[in-house]
Amino acid sequence: MKKYLFTLMMVFFVMIGNATEKGTWTGIISDDHCGVKSANEGHAECAKKCIKDGKATVIVVGDKMYKISDPKKVEEFIGQKVTIEGNLKDDVIEIKKVSKA
């Protein structure tokens, strides 16, 4: 019986770990190379260059960085403060809506 209970608990924890979190995030669109240290509106040209050179597009919220699943949705906002509504899974945001903050 303990084996079954343990197995059930493990399945439950795996399901929790794979869950997505709906939410809203406000921050600066940047690149993952410079990340948190350069997340400001004066960094736009550098971020655009890094993203063009293959770095990942991110949103920096405070001291946390989240990758963007579809960078084309925020392409026009690089270096700007935005609010994103969407789903978060494994520090990657799937955008449902983005607007300038």
Map tokens 């597009």 to a residue: 57
Q: Residue 80 burial by CB count (10 A; 0-12/13-18/19+): exposed, middle or buried? A: middle
pLDDT single digits (tens) 10-63: 655 555 555 679 999 999 999 999 888 887 778 899 999 999 999 999 999 999
pLDDT at 59: 97
pLDDT at 13: 58
4 vs 20, more confident: 20
d(CA 47, CA 39): 9
